[in-house]
Amino acid sequence: MIITMTNAEIRWTKYLTKGLPLFTDKIIEVFVKTQANSVCKNLKIDKLYGLDVQSPLNKVLRDHLKGGDISSRSNFFETNVAEYSKGSLKMDI
């Protein structure tokens, strides 16, 4: 099932990104297969694809779509606030 969905995702992504710079067929395949391997890891099953390279799209996903390195961020409700700032609202009547 994962292989079928991976192949469908590769076809769909190639269709959507046709003509866009950076989105070559090879980069798309590596990216989607890397994501499929992550799914396998989360399900605690063996990886389906042996990949030697990392896709540059992984960095884009990590830095921009997921909000950066999650391991370095702290939980908002578990941190102490070190600095407060007072907002200002200027209303001309």
Tens digit of pLDDT for each residue in 4-57?
999 999 999 999 988 888 788 888 888 899 889 889 989 999 988 887 677 777
* pTM value surpassing 0.75: no
> Which of 46, 7, 10 lies closest to 28 in space, CA to CA?
10
Distance from the Cα of residue 78 to its chain's centroid: 25
Answer whether residue 82 shows pLDDT above 80.
no
Rounded-to-integer distance, Cα 57 and Cα 14, Å:
13
Q: How far apart are the first and last CA of the chain?
A: 64
pLDDT number for residue 6: 92
For 45, phi then psi, to 5°, come to -120, 165
pLDDT number for residue 59: 73
More confident: 29 or 60: 29
**What residues does each domain of the chain span?**
2-16+24-69
pLDDT number for residue 5: 93
